[in-house]
Amino acid sequence: MELWDALAGLGTAAREAVLAERCLAASVEGDGTAVSLGLREAALLRSFAGAFGARLRCLDDCPACGSRVAAELSIPDLIAVQEAAPACSGRMDLDGWRISYRLPTGEDLKEAAEASDEETAEQILRSATIRQISHPDGEISASDLPDGVAEALAERIEREDPLAAAEVALSCPDCGETWRCGLDAAALFAARLDAWAKRTLWEVHHLAMRYGWREADILAMAPQRREAYLLMDVP
Ligand SMILES: [Zn+2]
């Protein structure tokens, strides 16, 4: 409930940043801002599972017929994919290029989000992640990488940090269309937290009206006990 209060009034981006920060603080030692985007998603999913259970429900509209389609995901399975990927840095050798890189972090993403256009944002992200480039022709900066090499590097980073840009495969039961939608753990967490907090406040309101109990005492009760009281007949 305290977390819900902290998120109130914030825009989408700020709300998700606060949520990610809290989840990282709970699961990572040291500075959470240096953690890769995939590990940040894993921390959000872990906290989500701790609060609401290990199943994640993902909703999207069918692009062909507009039907609402849901997919149920297992959070432990998603986290296992991330944990099986290498740590946080690596080296790529391609056509004479040798590039040392690290995986992008939440801090890099924040900087890139402030860029005026998409191309500049991509450049910022690339410069932040490349540590060193060597090529037989001499010194080359991150912004002068040929497109093919830059794409190969982006693909490599995506493979090594799978939850950073995770996608869910969906298929429509009404028309058979299949497509993929992005998995945004922070947005799903924020929506679920909001629904939970509103339901809990509704329970507090009704129990306080009926029995005159204090909010803190009602919140301290196990959810099933609150529900049992709410189901009792009022004389
Ligand atoms: Zn459809």
pLDDT at residue number 102: 92
Please check the confidence at residue 27 and state whether its pLDDT lies above 80: no
For the stretch 166-220, pLDDT in tens is 999 999 999 999 999 999 999 999 999 999 999 999 999 999 999 999 999 999 9
pLDDT at residue number 116: 87
Please check the confidence at residue 235 and state whether its pLDDT lies above 90: no
Q: Are residues 148 and 203 in the same domain?
A: no
pLDDT at residue number 32: 64
Burial of 127 (0-12, 13-18, 19+ CB in 10 A): middle
Residue 61 Cα to ligand 1 middle (Å): 8
Report pTM.
0.84
What's the domain count of the chain?
2
Question: What's at 164, amino acid-wise?
Answer: A
φ, ψ at 68 (rounded to 5°): -80, 125
φ, ψ at 138 (rounded to 5°): 120, -160
**Residue 100 domain-assigned (yes or no):** yes
Percent of the chain with pLDDT strictly greater than 70: 96
pLDDT at residue number 24: 86
**Residue 114 domain-assigned (yes or no):** yes
**Residue 99 domain-assigned (yes or no):** yes
**Residue 18 domain-assigned (yes or no):** no
**Residue 199 domain-assigned (yes or no):** yes
Q: Are residues 91 and 156 in the same domain?
A: yes
φ, ψ at 148 (rounded to 5°): -60, -40
Q: Are residues 154 and 210 in the same domain?
A: no
Q: Are 130 and 122 in contact (CB under 8 A)?
A: no
Listed residue (48, 29, 45) closest to 37, CA to CA: 45
pLDDT at residue number 29: 58
Residue 173 Cα to ligand 1 middle (Å): 7
Residue 181 Cα to ligand 1 middle (Å): 14
For the stretch 124-181, pLDDT in tens is 888 899 999 988 888 788 878 888 999 999 999 989 999 998 999 999 999 999 999 9
**Residue 221 domain-assigned (yes or no):** yes
Percent of the chain with pLDDT strictly greater than 90: 57
Which domain range does residue 101 map to? 86-160
Q: Are residues 198 and 154 in the same domain?
A: no
Instruction: Give Cα 187 to chain centroid, integer Å.
Output: 7
Residue 60 Cα to ligand 1 middle (Å): 11
Instruction: Give Cα 65 to chain centroid, integer Å.
Output: 28
Q: Are residues 156 and 200 in the same domain?
A: no
Residue 69 Cα to ligand 1 middle (Å): 8
Cα-Cα-Cα-Cα dihedral of 216, 219, 222, 223, to 10°? 160
Residue 175 Cα to ligand 1 middle (Å): 4
Q: Between residues 132 and 85, which one has the greater pLDDT?
A: 132
Instruction: Give Cα 27 to chain centroid, integer Å.
Output: 14
pLDDT at residue number 183: 92
**Residue 205 domain-assigned (yes or no):** yes
Q: Are residues 148 and 200 in the same domain?
A: no
Interatomic CA distance for residues 118 and 62, integer angstroms? 27
Residue 13 Cα to ligand 1 middle (Å): 30
* pLDDT band for position 28 (cuts 50, 70, 90): low
Please check the confidence at residue 117 and state whether its pLDDT lies above 70: yes
* Residues 222, 228, 231, 234, CA torsion sign: negative
Query: Alpha helices, DSSP H only, in the chain?
Result: 2-7, 12-27, 37-52, 75-84, 106-113, 118-129, 147-160, 185-211, 215-220, 223-231
Q: Between residues 1 and 65, which one has the greater pLDDT?
A: 65
pLDDT at residue number 110: 83
Q: Are residues 152 and 203 in the same domain?
A: no
For the stretch 36-53, pLDDT in tens is 899 999 999 999 999 999
Beta bridge partners of residue 93, listed in sequence order: 98
Question: What's at 21, amino acid-wise?
Answer: E
pLDDT at residue number 106: 83
